[in-house]
Structure 1
Amino acid sequence: MIARPQHIAFPSAPVLETARLRLRMPRLDDFAHRLAFYASDRSVWEGGPFTHEQAWRIFASEVGQWPLMGFGPFSMEDRQTGAYLGEVGIYQPEGYPEPELGWFVTDAAEGKGYAAEGARAVMGWAAATFGWDHIDNYIDPGNARSIALGLRLGGVQVDAKGSDPTDVVIRHDLRRLPC
């Protein structure tokens, strides 16, 4: 059996830093955190829980967006400790009408503002890199915490197509980001 390498990074993913976070290309060892999330009841808003195999396919396809599309997920880690905190990024699997800004945090990172901090950094990067006017969140209507975060980030609920017909779509005007 051939052993898998543990740390592979595509050179196309930048490293973004905020006051508390380092946003970087996901690595193979980050999958364990993603698997824990997808196996838990917290993943219900993403269509889960998922099996190990399903979680791997989702993770691999999202990470694979980097070399194919020039964007994808960033793993969030604490700048001081290096601890993995979750993920934030731009996703556009087949069937999504536009690129979507999304996030999740580990149980230990919940409620500490990491998703908001990471999302702001990704929005700034997307505006500067792609020149997009806006980016949307596609959120299950039952996910009140993510809807609240999308609105807290300055987004507004719009009548637009999401990834699912029932999605709440929150649009962020990237032209109005603070300088």
Structure 2
Amino acid sequence: MLDTERLRLRPPQADDLDALHAWRSDPAVVRFVGGRTLDREEAWQRLLRIAGHWSLFGHGLFMVEEKASGAVIGEVGLFYGRRDLGPDFDAAPEIGWILAAAAHGRGYASEAARAAQGWFAATQGDRRCVCMIDPAHEASFRVASKLGYKSYRSTDYHGSSVTLLERLPA
């Protein structure tokens, strides 16, 4: 478990389903991550996939809790997406973040991602990490920039243009 000033990051639990389904079924939240909402069964499968990554690799996406309310408001962490985008992307750990709409614009994504990235470097080694962002998602580019990510190429992913970014070890 990781604590920041306002957030708690922890591995997923079975009772995170309702919260995960709420943000993953909100069109405003998924607009820049494929644009497709998840039904409850798909949200359950995603939760199991997140938990399985922790089991296989000892790291993965954390569930993000707002300390003040105790609400689970998103997911953030580093994982292996194996997206078939080439060895320059697929071989590196990928950072990702997605937060409920009510958490947008509050600096939570940067706060949580910075904590997850620091924990990952300390426990897994500081190494090259990657992420991919929809070219229209300005807020995610700001988060990535704060974390030290720089664009290195654009490509197509599932029929949409994405920008690939990397962060080199310190």
- Scaled by the length of structure 1, the TM-score of the pair is 0.79
- Check if 1:85 corresponds to 2:80: no
Which runs of 5 or more residues in structure 1 are unaligned?
1-14
Count the aligned residue pairs: 161
SS in 2 for 1:45: coil
1: CA distance, partners of 2:65 / 2:51: 16
Range 133-142 or range 112-121, more displaced:
133-142
CA RMSD of aligned residues (A): 2.2
Shift of 1:119: 0.6
Alignment partner for residue 131 of structure 1, among 120, 125, 131? 125
Which runs of 5 or more residues in structure 2 are unaligned?
85-89
Distance 1:60 1:163, change over 3 A: farther
2: CA distance, partners of 1:69 / 1:162: 27
Q: Percent identity?
A: 34
Q: When you count strand as a share of all residues, which structure comes out higher?
A: 2
2: CA distance, partners of 1:101 / 1:76: 14
- Scaled by the length of structure 2, the TM-score of the pair is 0.82
Kept after mapping to 1: 8 A contact 2:63/2:76: yes
* TM alignment of 1:49-128, pairs within 5 A: 49-95=37-83, 97=90, 98-128=92-122
Letter paired with 2:162: D
Distance 1:64 1:162, change over 3 A: farther
* TM alignment of 1:38-57, pairs within 5 A: 38-41=24-27, 42-47=29-34, 48-57=36-45
Shift of 1:81: 3.5
1:17-67: CA deviations, max 9, x gaps? 112211111112222121122212121322212222222222211221001
2: CA distance, partners of 1:79 / 1:57: 26
**More RCO (CA 8 Å, sep 6+):** 2
**Which of the pair has more CA radius of gyration?**
1
Counterpart residue number, 2:22: 36
Distance 1:160 1:91, change over 3 A: farther
Kept after mapping to 2: 8 A contact 1:155/1:170: yes
Kept after mapping to 2: 8 A contact 1:21/1:118: yes
Kept after mapping to 1: 8 A contact 2:50/2:60: yes
